[in-house]
Structure formats: structure tokens, C-alpha cells
Structure 1
Amino acid sequence: MKVAVVDINGKNTGREVELSADVFAIEPNNHAVYLDVKQYLANQRQGTHKSKERAEISGSTRKIKKQKGTGTARAGSIKSGIFKGGGRMFGPRPRNYSFKLNKGVKRLARKSALTMKANDSAIVVMEDFNFDSPKTKNFTNVLKALGVENKKSLFVLGATNNNVYLSSRNLKGSDVIMNSELSTYKILNANKLVLLESSLEGIESNLSK
């Protein structure tokens, strides 16, 4: 599929680029997308949650009431989870939430996500640009020119560009990454995917394996 290339002012340059059908026009696999997003979110979890259990609570170990004749259930310890101040029953313990996902499934998920964005006309191809110095206002002007200042946007660079990255860092709804950092979650989380020309070759070569 062919996509028009725009400049830093959002104007059509008169040029077009051909997006690889093997990456941007496949049959989307929803289950692969689900697994890749699930793994990404699982990897964000610290897994440091912990609550005190019965054996970790400070308290008396004496039997709190006689065994029989009270008309209520027998109870042997004030540290039991059924009493106020007792240990939590089956509480959370530290654990690792990450899980393995095959590289082929991850590539399929990314291609499926890119295809979904292409089908929704949510991909913009932009010629490479740079700023003389890091300045948030410069990047804000680019967002306004593309009409995405009030939307979530993901800019994909082909090479490291500190001025562009630092200019976008203070903007909550915008994210700037390298083509090697592209993930299914970030693609789907953005309303508009802005691909710089220099990033296309890297994206297609990484996902065409």
C-alpha cells in the first residue's frame, strides 16, 4: 500500500512510500495480539505485593476462650484471620508475573497491530526532521500541524535523536521511540502512529524475518 509523505508542517511533500504488504497488510491475529499485550503488561508489574499472614502477626498464643459451652465456634488464637488484627488468609505474596512468548508470535502480533492501524488510516509517514535544540514548543507545533495535539501519538524514529526525544518528554500524550523499541501495546495504545521515513526500513526488516 502507498502512503503520502508529509513534512514537519503537515503538508504533503508530493512523494509516496510503499509500505510492505507482509508487515502492514496481513490477516490480523487477535490472539497473538492479546498474548503480546498481556506479556507487556505483565512485565510492567513489580510483583512486590505482600501482606502479613498468621505466622507473621504479633500477638498472644494463648487460647482465647474455652473449647466448649460458648455457643460459638471454637477458637484457639487471636492471630487467626477471622479476627480483627489477625493475619490475612491467602494474601498476596511476592512473585514474578513474566512469562515466555515465542519470537514468531511477537512478530505476528506487531504486524497484526500495524495492519490494524493501517486499516484504520491511523498511520502517518513523515520525512525526517530535527530541532536545533530541545524545546517542547517545537514538538507541540509538530503535533498541531499533524492535528494530534489532543490525541495519543507515537513517533517512531529510525536513528537516535536526542533533541526530538527531549522535546517530547514533557508531553503526556506523546511518545517517541526507536524502531527497535516498537511493541504491540504501544502501537495499539496510540491514536496516531507517526513513522519517520528512516524508520520504515528497520521496521520492515525486523518484522519480515
Structure 2
Amino acid sequence: MADQSEAETGWRGSYEGWLEAAYEALVENGIDAVKILPLANRLKLSRTSFYWHFKDRETLLEALASRWDKRTTEPLVAAASSYAETEAEALLNVIGCFLRADTFDDRLEFAVRSWALQDDGIMERVRAADALRLAALSALLCKWGHAPIDADVRARTIYLAQIGYISMQAREPLAVRMARIPNYVEIYSGGHAPEPRELARFYAQQGYTPES
């Protein structure tokens, strides 16, 4: 039976509301938690309200997978092609993308990779995304003069290090991570450390004030 408030108002939630509830269930408890009745209970809506917005659970899961694309792959590819005056600055653009949840949703990344272990279709999407992301990073490095094989290996070093952070659920104090970034840039680029002005601009973009 519909909740009394729902029956009185006719409110059935919204597409974004149902999708957000599914997102929270996925990142908190995994794909098995993304089911219609528990989501309805979370939203205090009737189960039938779901069908005003989604054909079935599979449609909802497709929307979640699309959200993952938009919150991870798309911003990373954009960061890899962003304007930069130097190779060091180009790599700072990429590293900066990974630092903020609004440009790379690491909780969703972890949840989708876990989901892929249970779903061959999602695993295929994850592998395709990995290939696209690596290609974008390789292209960035080729642009700055690296030979294709060198660019490929360096791209993998950048990418697999970051996915390792996510897979291990590593949590470092921001100051510690920021202190390491110049060394990461130097390693990734093959010796091009960021200039103080580049680091200052990067810190400002991240809303970070170094400790004196």
C-alpha cells in the first residue's frame, strides 16, 4: 500500500531521486542492495512509484552505469586533453582530476569494479573504460614527445597507481598526498618536475593551502 503522504499528494518521487537512492545503495552496500523495494523504503515511496521513472531494475542499472561513465571516464579524458603550457602542468591536470569527488567519483569507481566481478556486461564496460582512459593518457604523453611504447608504459604507471589507491581504499591526509605530487609528476614525465608557479596554481585550483 502506498505511504499515506504519497496517496494524498500523488508524489512518486523523481527520476533523479530514485537514481540517487540507487547510487547511495550501490556505494554503501554493493550491487545486491540496489533493489526496488529497499529503494522505495529508503525514499518512503511505494514500490509501484518506481515504474513511473524506470521500466525495470535493468533500466535503473543501466542509468547507474551511465552515471559512472559521466563521473569518472568523461572527466578524466577531458583532464588529459586540457590546455597546459608544460608537460608537468598537463600531468597536474590529470592528478587533480583524481583528487576531487566532483571530477572523479572514487566511491563509485570502487563500487562499479566490485559490481563487475558479478556481471560480465559490467566487466566488459570497465575494460572498455580502462582502455579509453589509458589511450587518453598515452595521447597526452605522446603530445609531449614521448615515444609510443614509452608513453604507454608511463600511462599505465599513472593509471594503475591511481586505481591501486582506489582498490586498496587508501586514505592519506591531504597534506601528505600533496607533498608527494611533485615527485609523482617527475616520475611520470621522466624528469620534468613542476615549477613553483605551476604548483601554486594547482594548489589554488584544488583549494589547498600548503602548510608553512
TM-score, scaled relative to structure 2: 0.21
Query: More helix by proportion, 1 or 2?
Result: 2
- Rg larger in structure: 1
